[in-house]
């Protein structure tokens, strides 16, 4: 359906006409559902960087404001999985210049102190205080803790969605003709997809192994396209999410359950 839509569009605009005219061969990969198709598309576009698909081509490293120290001003940091696990990621920026410009604009609207935020240097009060756009934390008129609390409250609207699970999870998709795929996700990042059509009872083992391998070998910037796809997909709770249980925990749980059964009092013990 997606492929046919490209050719239907060739009758409507010149870009689609050029794309259709240059097409000599069509290759495709089947997926078990819409989520798998979106994740696969983002992965292939990121790898091949097609000229006509700028939306999913990515833009290198993404930056975010974070609070590594509770009492310190926000610090500009690369967006990574640790920030999303802790919920300490506010805003999304392609450059430090864009990030500082956005924080400065928000500070002016909210009467935050640019000196306190590390965006302005110099002695005495900040320039905004002279314009009555700062409440005076820079000269001791407002407690620093109160000012920082106001900053954090103001940045809440910019907060990126926190990863709500303890570790990696699987999302299963099944098609009417029997194709079944499991997507392995961790901290809003797509690690891998495995075909489990027919089922062999080893899904969790395979998923855990792939999650460990992908985490150990992960390189490059945070995949913001994957983040957007997955946050939208899980928002409506259409997909069933299953945490990956490490084999060590499975063995421990099985042993504990067995011990409880051996130690249980049965009806025969009372006869």
- Quote the Cα angle for 223-228-230, to 5°: 95
- The last residue of one of the domains, among 101, 129, 158, is 158
For residues 236 and 177, state if they share a domain: yes
For residues 134 and 169, state if they share a domain: no
For residues 97 and 146, state if they share a domain: yes
- Across the chain, what does the average pLDDT equal? 80
Burial state string for 75-108 with b = 16 or more CB within 10 A and e = fewer than 16: eebebbeebbbeebbbbbbeeeeebbeebbebbe
Domain span holding position 135? 90-158
Distance of CA 116 to the CA centre of its chain: 30
- Quote the Cα angle for 231-237-238, to 5°: 105
For residues 138 and 198, state if they share a domain: no
Q: What is the pLDDT of residues 142-183, one digit of tens each?
A: 999 999 999 999 999 999 999 999 888 989 899 999 888 889
For residues 140 and 179, state if they share a domain: no
For residues 244 and 186, state if they share a domain: yes
Split at pLDDT 50, 70, 90, the class of 111 is very high
Distance of CA 201 to the CA centre of its chain: 29
- The last residue of one of the domains, among 158, 182, 214, is 158
Nearest one of 181, 187, 156 to 169, comparing CA atoms: 187
- At 141, give phi and psi (nearest 5°): -80, -25
For residues 45 and 117, state if they share a domain: no
Assess if residue 104 is contained within a domain.
yes
Instruction: Say what the pTM is.
Output: 0.74
Asked if residue 209 lies in contact with residue 192, where contact means CB atoms within 8 angstroms, the answer is no
Assess if residue 133 is contained within a domain.
yes
Q: What is the pLDDT of residues 220-255, one digit of tens each?
A: 678 888 899 999 998 877 888 988 876 655 545 445
């Amino acid at each position: 359906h997606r492929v046919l839509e490209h050719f239907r569009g060739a009758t409507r605009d010149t870009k689609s006409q050029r794309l259709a005219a240059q097409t000599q061969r069509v290759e495709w990969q089947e997926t078990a559902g819409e989520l798998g198709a979106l994740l696969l598309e983002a992965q292939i576009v990121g790898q091949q960087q097609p000229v006509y698909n700028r939306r999913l081509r990515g833009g290198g490293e993404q930056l975010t404001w974070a609070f590594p120290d509770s009492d310190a001003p926000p610090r500009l940091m690369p967006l990574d999985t640790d920030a999303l696990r802790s919920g300490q990621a506010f805003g999304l920026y392609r450059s430090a210049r864009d990030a500082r410009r956005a924080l400065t604009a928000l500070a002016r609207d909210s009467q935050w102190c640019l000196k306190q935020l590390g965006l302005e240097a110099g002695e005495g009060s900040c320039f905004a205080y002279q314009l009555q756009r700062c409440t005076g934390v820079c000269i001791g008129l407002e407690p620093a803790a109160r000012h920082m609390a106001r900053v954090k409250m103001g940045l809440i609207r910019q907060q990126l969605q926190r990863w709500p699970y303890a570790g990696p999870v699987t999302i299963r998709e099944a098609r009417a003709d029997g194709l079944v795929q499991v997507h392995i996700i961790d901290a809003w990042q797509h690690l891998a997809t495995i075909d489990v059509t027919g089922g062999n009872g080893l899904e969790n083992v395979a998923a855990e192994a792939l999650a460990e391998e992908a985490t150990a070998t992960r390189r490059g910037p945070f995949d913001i396209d994957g983040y957007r796809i997955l946050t939208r997909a899980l928002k409506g709770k259409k997909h069933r999410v299953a945490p990956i249980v490490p084999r060590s925990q499975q063995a421990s749980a099985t042993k504990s359950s067995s011990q409880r059964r051996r130690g249980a009092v049965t009806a025969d013990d009372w006869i």
